[in-house]
A and B are shown apart, each in its own frame.
Chain A
Amino acid sequence: MKISLDWIKDFVELPELSPEEIGTKFTISTCEVEGVEESNAHFEKILIAQIKSIEPHPDADKLNLVTFDVGSGEKRVVCGAPNVAVGLKVPFAPIGTTLPGGFTLEPKKIRGILSEGMLCAEDELGLGDSHEGLLELSEDAPIGKTLADYMNIKRDILLDIDNKSITHRPDLWGHYGMAREFSAAFKNPLRKAFDNKWVEKMQAFYNDKKAPVSIKVEEGTACLGFTGLSVDNVTVKPSPLWMQQRLTACGMRPINNIVDISNYVMLEFGMPNHIYDRDTIKGGQIIVRTNGEESVFITLDEAERKMIASDTVVCDAEAPSGIAGIMGGLSSSVKDETTKVFIEAANWDAADIRHTSTRLGLRTDASQRYEKSLDSCQLEPTVLRILELLKDSCPQAEPVGALVSDALDFKEPLVIDLKIERVNSILGTTLDIPEAVEILESLEYCVKVESNIMKVTVPTFRATKDVEVDADLIEDIGRIYGYDKLSPVPPLNEITAVSLTNAKQLERKIQDFMVYRARALEIYTYPMLGAKLLDQADWNIKNEGLILANPLSPDTDRMRPSLIPGFLEKAALNQSNYSTFRAFEIGRSYLASEKNFSEDRHQLGIMFFDKKESLFMDLLNLVGDLLENLGINARIMKPSGKFENPLVASDWAGRHPNEFLDIQVMGKLAGFITTVHPVVAGKFKIKGNLSIAVLDVTDFKDRPLKDKTKYKPLPKYPGATFDCTVVADNDAPVADVLSSLGKVKLNELVDYKIVDVYSLSDTQKTVTIRAWLQDKDKTLQPETITKAEDMIVSALAKAGYPLKQG
C-alpha cells in the first residue's frame, strides 16, 4: 500500500528528516516501509512552452523539428507527436528531468539532430493514460512557468508499505490511522480532524425530511452494521487536481468526483463504501440478506460470479445489487447525469468475506480491508466525511433526512489491566507509569491509573481483533518507546545437560555411514507426487486418502506412499551423467491411517546404479553392515511368503525374481533390497542396473543407540587353520555349503569362511573353506587338529559336498 506523506501532513507535522530517515524510523516503530519514492518532483522542472515553428526532420518521415519559446529563450527538440501546431502551449521537460517511471532525459541526437529535451504527453507526465499527442495547455498558460506552479502540484513522498506487515492492523489501512502512528512515533500531536465536534458539525446537515431509502438487515448475514445517507443536488464532474493527484499517487485511477470521493475516503479512513445512483435502488429499499440459493451475479467488472446460498448479498426491492463487502454490481454506479445519490458504509464479518472472496477468487480493495476486521464505529464518520467532501465539490448538495442504519452493534469497550512491572519485566525497560501512559495516550488509548494498575480502555479501531491482552499493550509501548533503545542482556540460565535425541543420533549415524562407508550422495526427493508417476512405477498404493485439496499441479497432488517412485525418476535423470552412482535419502513416506488420518514413516532409501553390472551384492553387503552397525536386531532374508512386506507389495512388478530380499527388524518386516526388474526400469527408460533398498526406521528410531561392543581377551596360544575344497552342484548356494559346518560340535572350531569358489564344469563347482581352530587354554594338540579336520570333512560330505579328489 502506498502512503502519501503530503496526505499524512494534513493531520500531523513531520520532522525535518530525509524521506529515507522517515521510512527507517517508521519501519522500526510501526510497519515495514519497503521503498520510499519521491513523486511530482518533475513538475518543478517542467516548463510551459509555446511552439514557434515546425519543420520536417530531414532524415525521418514521421518526426518534426519543433522550435519553441520557454520564456528564457528558444529551444529545439525532435518530436513525433501528431498534434504539434504553431502557437500551441505544451509542457517541456528539459535535459536532466527525471520523469515518472525513472527515465532521466539526457542530451541525445535523434537521427543526427540534437534534441534539447522533450515535449510531453499526458502519460509521460503521470497525469493520465493518454499518449495520443502532446498535452495541450490552455491559451492563457504563462510561458516559462513551471507546471508545478501553474497546476498547483505539490511535491510528495510516497512510502511503499508491505501489506503483510499490517495484516493485523485494520486501523492502518487508511491515511488517518497511519497519521496517528506518525504522531506517536515522532511525538508530534495528531490533528484530530474527525473528533466529536466535527461529527456534531456534520450531523447538523441532517434534516427532518423522510429518508428516501430504508435499510433492512436480515438475520444470519455477514453484516456487522449498515449505514446510509441520501444526498440530492450533486453534479458529476472531474474532481479537483489535488484529489486526483493523491489518488493517482496511491495507485487509483481518477474517474469523477463521486467515485473519487468514495475512493478517497476509503484511503483516508480505511473503510470501504459505495455511492449509489439513488434512482437505481428499486423500491427505495436496501435489504441485506443471504443469497438463499445458487445463482449468478454480474459484478462491476462485468464478470459472472457463481454465488452460493450462504453468501451475503446487498439487494434492493427487486434484485441483488452487490456482493457484500467485495464488489458491487454494474447497475448501481453513478452516471454523468446522476444528481441523487445514496452513500453506503457497511461493515462485514471478516471470516465470511474471506471465505466468499477466496471462493470467488475475487480479492478487491474492499474485501482485503474487511478481512482485517474493521470497526463499525467508523461507519458514520465515513458517511460524514463523504458528505463533507461532496459539499466541497458540489456546494449545493444536501442530505435528504438523516443517517439510516440497521444491525449496528457497538461492543462494550475493552478494558485491560496493565501493570508497569509486567511491562518492564517483558521489555527489560525501567519505565514508570506516567511514561507508559503517555505512550498509550499517543495511540488514543484511554488510561486510568487505580492503585498502581493502569486500566487501559482500548479504542474501538484497535479492539476488533488486534488488541486483546496486556501483551498487546506492551508491544505498543515497546515499539513507540523504541526497540533500538533495548540493549542485549544475557539471560540467567539453569544448567541442563542436553544431547541429540535418539532419533537424531540414528539419523546422523546412518547419514555418516552412507557417506563415509558407502560413498553415497545424499539427495532429497519431492515429498509430493502424482498418480502418473505412481502408475509409471506400477505402485499400487495410490495414497488416495492423502490427496491435497489445492495441489500446485496434478504431478504433486498427493503425499508419496514410498520413496521408490521418486528414486526411479531420479535414477532416470542421473543415468545420463554417470555410468555408475550411489545415492540415498533419509525422508518420509506418508500413509493414510484410519486412526490418526495419517502416519509419517521415516525411511532410508538407497539406490545403486551401474550401466554394466548389477550392484545388488554391494548393496546387500552394505545394508548388512549398516544394520549390524546400528546395533539393532535385524535379519536379511528371502521372502517367506507368510507375511506381507508393508513397504512393497508382493505383486510389485519391480521386484527382481532372484535379487530380492526382505529386511526384518525386531521380528517385523521393515525393509527390502531389490534390483529393479527391467520391466519397471524400462518404463523409466533406465538403461542399466538399478538396485534399491528401503529401510523403515520409524519403529526403532527412538530407541537408544547402544554400544554393544564386548571385549574378549586376546588368545594366549597359537591357533591353526585348515583349508578344504569340496565339490558342490553349481546351483547350490555357497552359504548352504558353509552352513553345513554348523553341525560340527567342537569347541576348538572357532570360525569358518569361504576362501574360493571355482567352476569345474557346467554342473559342478568347487568350494574352498577355511576353518579356524583355537584352544583358549593350551596349545592345540596335533590329535585335536586331526580330529577337527575329520569332523569338518565328514560334516561336509554328509551334507552332500564331498572332498575334491586329486
Chain B
Amino acid sequence: MLQKLEEVKKEFESGISSIRSLPDMAQFKADFLGKKGKLNALMSGMRDLAVEEKKAFGSKANEVKQVMLAAIEEQGRKIEVEQINAKLEKNRQDISWTDKITDLGQQAAGLHPITKLTRELEDIFLSMGFDILDGPHIEDEYHNFEALNIPESHPARDMQDTFWFKDAEHLLRTHTSNIQIRGMEQKKPPFKFVGPGKVFRCEALDASHEAAFHQLEGMMVGRDISVQHMIHFLRTLLSEIFKKDINVRLRPGFFPFVEPGFELDYECMLCGGKGCPVCKQVGWVEGLGCGMVHPNVLKAGGVDPNEFNGFAFGMGIDRLTMMRYHIDDVRHFHSGNLQFSEQFKAY
C-alpha cells in the first residue's frame, strides 16, 4: 500500500509541472484529490489493513495530500502570473522611446541666467542681513546724478554715456546707484541694502558691450565704519560668490559718490596671481568699484555725515554671469532666443 502511495505521489509530481492552465489544473486536482481521485481510491483500501498499518498509512497519506495541495496552490499561482504577464506582453510599450529622443518642441524650462545669478547674489546678501531694494529705470537727473555728487558738468558724466529723454531732465538710469538715494530716503541708519537691476548706457553694441545690462549696487551705513570693514566685507562677499577663499586688493578708483573711492581687484582664479592672458599678466582681475560713501551723498539721502558713515559698492552682473557659464556674447541676454535660454534649464 505504501508503495502504491509512493507511486501515486511520483505520478503527481511528474504531472503537475506540465499543467499550463487553470481548468487543466482543476481537472488534475480532481484526478488526484477528488472524491473519485487516486488518493481517495487508495484510502478506501485502508480498511483492510491492520490497526498499526492503518495508522502508519493514514498519517503518510495525509502527509502526501498536504504536499499535493501545496504544490497545486503554488503551480496555480505560477499559472496566474504567467497569464497576466502574457497579457502585459500584449500591451508592451517601447520604454526606450523617451521624451529626450523625441521632437516635442521646447522641453526644458528654466530661469534666465541673469535671474539665476541675481537670485544667488540676493540670497548671499540676505544671509548677511542686507535688504534687497529696487528703483525705477526711468530716472530724473537728481537721483541719477545730482544726489550722487555728480553735478552738471562733472567729468564723471563723460564716462557715462547717458540715454537722455527729449525733455533733457529725465534719463535711463546709468547705474543702480540711484537705488542708494531712494534707499536712504526710505530708511533710518544704521542700514544695509543692495539693489540689483537693469541699467542703460549709450554704448555701441558688440560682444562685450550692451546698452542695457545689469548691475548690483549696495551700501552699508552705520557708526564708525572703516575701509578695513569694507575690505573684510567685500572679501567675504567675493569668497561666497566664487565659493572659495579669495585674496583682494584695493587701488584708487574714481566714483563721485564715494570718497575715498576704490577699485577692488581679486586674485586671478585661473593663474592664482601668477599672471596669465585672462588677467592681462598682472595676476589681478577687476572685481568691483567701491568706497566710503561721500558726505554729500549721505546728506542728499538725509543722513547726517557727522554721525554716520559707511561704504558702498557696485558690480556688474552680466560679466559675472558670462564668467560663470563661459558665455561669449553679452547680446545673448536680451536676444529672446530660446536656443540660448534652454541651456539654463532648471526643469
Q: Are B109 and A483 in contact (CB under 8 A)?
A: no
Q: Are A523 and B232 in contact (CB under 8 A)?
A: no
Please report the C-alpha to C-alpha distance between residue A195 and residue B164 in the assembled complex, in whole angstroms. 46
Instruction: Convert B94-127 into 0s and 1s, putting 1 for each residue whose CB lies closer than 8 angstroms to a CB of A.
Output: 0000000001111111111011000100100010
Q: Are B252 and A597 in contact (CB under 8 A)?
A: no
Q: A32-B263, A524-B114 are in contact. Are A590 and B137 (CB under 8 A)?
A: yes
Q: Are B336 and A570 in contact (CB under 8 A)?
A: yes
Q: Which residues of chain B have C-beta atoms less than 8 A from A629's C-beta?
A: none
Q: Are A490 and B232 in contact (CB under 8 A)?
A: yes
Instruction: Convert B205-241 into 0s and 1s, putting 1 for each residue whose CB lies closer than 8 angstroms to a CB of A.
Output: 1000001100000001010111111011101000000
Q: Are A488 and B110 in contact (CB under 8 A)?
A: no
Q: Are A491 and B336 in contact (CB under 8 A)?
A: no
Please report the C-alpha to C-alpha distance between residue A31 and residue B126 in the assembled complex, in whole angstroms. 34
- Minimum Cβ distance to chain B for residue A77 (Å): 34
Q: Are A522 and B202 in contact (CB under 8 A)?
A: no
Q: Are B153 and A475 in contact (CB under 8 A)?
A: no
Question: Within 8 Å of chain A (Cβ to Cβ): is B251?
Answer: yes
Q: Which residues of chain B have C-beta atoms less than 8 A from A527's C-beta?
A: 137, 198, 200, 212
Q: Are B249 and A524 in contact (CB under 8 A)?
A: no
Please report the C-alpha to C-alpha distance between residue A351 and residue B155 in the assembled complex, in whole angstroms. 9
Please report the C-alpha to C-alpha distance between residue A527 and residue B309 in the assembled complex, in whole angstroms. 36
- Minimum Cβ distance to chain B for residue A478 (Å): 5
| Stretch in contact with the other chain, from B11-19, B83-91, B128-136 | B128-136
Question: A488 — nearest CB in chain B belongs to which residue?
Answer: B232
- Minimum Cβ distance to chain A for residue B332 (Å): 10
Please report the C-alpha to C-alpha distance between residue A578 and residue B341 in the assembled complex, in whole angstroms. 13
- Minimum Cβ distance to chain A for residue B283 (Å): 9
Give the size range of A's interface with the partner: 35 or more
Question: Within 8 Å of chain A (Cβ to Cβ): is B261?
Answer: yes
Q: Which residues of chain A have C-beta atoms less than 8 A from B136's C-beta?
A: 598, 600
Please report the C-alpha to C-alpha distance between residue A27 and residue B251 in the assembled complex, in whole angstroms. 7
Please report the C-alpha to C-alpha distance between residue A521 and residue B256 in the assembled complex, in whole angstroms. 39
Q: Which of A474, A487, A496, A515 contacts B109 (CB 8 A)?
A: A515
Please report the C-alpha to C-alpha distance between residue A489 and residue B235 in the assembled complex, in whole angstroms. 10
Question: Within 8 Å of chain B (Cβ to Cβ): is A338?
Answer: no
Q: Which residues of chain B have C-beta atoms less than 8 A from A426's C-beta?
A: 226-227, 260, 292, 309
Q: Which residues of chain B have C-beta atoms less than 8 A from A373's C-beta?
A: 155
Question: B140 — nearest CB in chain A belongs to which residue?
Answer: A597
| Stretch in contact with the other chain, from A161-169, A379-387, A769-777 | A161-169
Question: Within 8 Å of chain A (Cβ to Cβ): is B337?
Answer: yes
| Stretch in contact with the other chain, from A82-90, A144-152, A546-554, A746-754 | A546-554
Please report the C-alpha to C-alpha distance between residue A164 and residue B220 in the assembled complex, in whole angstroms. 26
Q: Are A583 and B254 in contact (CB under 8 A)?
A: no
Q: Which residues of chain B have C-beta atoms less than 8 A from A489's C-beta?
A: 226, 228-229, 231-232
Q: Which residues of chain B have C-beta atoms less than 8 A from A569's C-beta?
A: 336
Q: Which residues of chain A have C-beta atoms less than 8 A from B224's C-beta?
A: 425
Question: B126 — nearest CB in chain A belongs to which residue?
Answer: A498
Question: Within 8 Å of chain A (Cβ to Cβ): is B295?
Answer: yes
Question: Within 8 Å of chain B (Cβ to Cβ): is A556?
Answer: yes
Q: Are B228 and A526 in contact (CB under 8 A)?
A: no
- Minimum Cβ distance to chain A for residue B168 (Å): 7
Q: Are A526 and B334 in contact (CB under 8 A)?
A: yes
Q: Are A427 and B110 in contact (CB under 8 A)?
A: no
Q: Are B336 and A511 in contact (CB under 8 A)?
A: no
Q: A488-B232, A550-B164, A580-B105 are in contact. Are A521 and B110 (CB under 8 A)?
A: yes
Question: Within 8 Å of chain A (Cβ to Cβ): is B166?
Answer: yes
| Stretch in contact with the other chain, from A243-251, A325-333, A500-508, A789-797 | A500-508
Q: Which residues of chain A have C-beta atoms less than 8 A from B259's C-beta?
A: 469, 471-472, 474-475
Q: Are B164 and A522 in contact (CB under 8 A)?
A: no
Question: B332 — nearest CB in chain A belongs to which residue?
Answer: A524
Q: Which residues of chain B have C-beta atoms less than 8 A from A579's C-beta?
A: 103-105
Instruction: Convert A525-537 into 0s and 1s, putting 1 for each residue whose CB lies closer than 8 angstroms to a CB of B.
Output: 1111000000000
Q: Are B233 and A491 in contact (CB under 8 A)?
A: yes
Q: A520-B109, A556-B211 are in contact. Are A168 and B155 (CB under 8 A)?
A: yes
Question: Within 8 Å of chain A (Cβ to Cβ): is B31?
Answer: no
Question: B167 — nearest CB in chain A belongs to which residue?
Answer: A597
Please report the C-alpha to C-alpha distance between residue A169 and residue B263 in the assembled complex, in whole angstroms. 16
Number of CB contacts from chain A to chain B under 8 A: 245
Question: Within 8 Å of chain A (Cβ to Cβ): is B302?
Answer: no
- Minimum Cβ distance to chain A for residue B231 (Å): 4
Q: Are B262 and A519 in contact (CB under 8 A)?
A: no
Q: Are A475 and B226 in contact (CB under 8 A)?
A: no
Q: Are B229 and A578 in contact (CB under 8 A)?
A: no
Q: Which of B106, B115, B231 contacts A580 (CB 8 A)?
A: B106
Question: Within 8 Å of chain A (Cβ to Cβ): is B170?
Answer: yes
Q: Which residues of chain A have C-beta atoms less than 8 A from B242's C-beta?
A: none
Q: Which residues of chain B have C-beta atoms less than 8 A from A219's C-beta?
A: none
Question: Within 8 Å of chain B (Cβ to Cβ): is A154?
Answer: no
Question: Within 8 Å of chain B (Cβ to Cβ): is A364?
Answer: no
Q: Which of B130, B158, B212, B254 contacts A526 (CB 8 A)?
A: B212
Question: Within 8 Å of chain B (Cβ to Cβ): is A720?
Answer: no
Q: Are B334 and A521 in contact (CB under 8 A)?
A: no
Q: Which of A32, A425, A508 contacts B226 (CB 8 A)?
A: A425
Within 8 A of B (CB), among A460-496: 465, 469, 471-472, 474-475, 478-479, 483-484, 486-491, 493-496
- Minimum Cβ distance to chain B for residue A518 (Å): 7
Q: A524-B333, A583-B341 are in contact. Are A167 and B254 (CB under 8 A)?
A: yes
Q: Are A500 and B132 in contact (CB under 8 A)?
A: yes
- Minimum Cβ distance to chain A for residue B55 (Å): 56
Q: Are A515 and B346 in contact (CB under 8 A)?
A: yes
- Minimum Cβ distance to chain A for residue B226 (Å): 4
Please report the C-alpha to C-alpha distance between residue A580 and residue B294 in the assembled complex, in whole angstroms. 53
Q: Which residues of chain A have C-beta atoms less than 8 A from B153's C-beta?
A: 350-351, 354-355
Question: Within 8 Å of chain B (Cβ to Cβ): is A659?
Answer: no
Question: Within 8 Å of chain A (Cβ to Cβ): is B163?
Answer: yes
Please report the C-alpha to C-alpha distance between residue A721 and residue B155 in the assembled complex, in whole angstroms. 78
Please report the C-alpha to C-alpha distance between residue A426 and residue B232 in the assembled complex, in whole angstroms. 14
Within 8 A of A (CB), among B244-297: 249-254, 256, 259-263, 282, 292, 294-296
Q: Which residues of chain B have C-beta atoms less than 8 A from A503's C-beta?
A: 134
- Minimum Cβ distance to chain B for residue A67 (Å): 42
Q: Which residues of chain A have C-beta atoms less than 8 A from B115's C-beta?
A: 511, 522
Q: A427-B228, A474-B260, A498-B126 are in contact. Are A32 and B112 (CB under 8 A)?
A: no
Q: A427-B227, A475-B261 are in contact. Are A167 and B155 (CB under 8 A)?
A: yes
Please report the C-alpha to C-alpha distance between residue A459 and residue B164 in the assembled complex, in whole angstroms. 37
Q: Which residues of chain A have C-beta atoms less than 8 A from B172's C-beta?
A: 548
Q: Are A471 and B292 in contact (CB under 8 A)?
A: yes
Q: Are B235 and A548 in contact (CB under 8 A)?
A: no
Question: B212 — nearest CB in chain A belongs to which residue?
Answer: A527
Q: Which of A164, A486, A493, A499 contacts B227 (CB 8 A)?
A: A486
Q: Are B294 and A552 in contact (CB under 8 A)?
A: no
- Minimum Cβ distance to chain B for residue A345 (Å): 21
Question: Within 8 Å of chain B (Cβ to Cβ): is A278?
Answer: no
Question: Within 8 Å of chain A (Cβ to Cβ): is B325?
Answer: no
Q: Which residues of chain B have C-beta atoms less than 8 A from A711's C-beta?
A: none
Q: Which residues of chain A have C-beta atoms less than 8 A from B34's C-beta?
A: none
Question: Within 8 Å of chain B (Cβ to Cβ): is A340?
Answer: no
Q: Which of B109, B122, B204, B338 contacts A504 (CB 8 A)?
A: B122
Q: Are A524 and B336 in contact (CB under 8 A)?
A: yes
Question: A591 — nearest CB in chain B belongs to which residue?
Answer: B138
Please report the C-alpha to C-alpha distance between residue A471 and residue B338 in the assembled complex, in whole angstroms. 49
Given contacts A27-B251, A351-B153, A489-B231, 13 further A-B contacts (CB under 8 A): A169-B254, A350-B155, A426-B309, A479-B252, A483-B252, A496-B129, A498-B129, A549-B164, A559-B138, A569-B336, A582-B106, A598-B136, A600-B137
- Please give me the 10 A-B residue pairs with the lowest Cβ-Cβ distance, nearest first: A351-B153, A580-B105, A428-B228, A475-B260, A570-B336, A488-B232, A428-B226, A491-B229, A581-B106, A471-B259
28 CB contacts below 8 A, A to B, read A28-B249, A28-B251, A166-B254, A167-B158, A351-B153, A471-B260, A475-B260, A486-B227, A486-B228, A486-B231, A488-B228, A489-B232, A490-B229, A498-B129, A500-B126, A501-B132, A504-B122, A504-B132, A511-B111, A518-B109, A526-B334, A527-B212, A528-B211, A574-B336, A577-B339, A583-B338, A597-B170, A600-B138
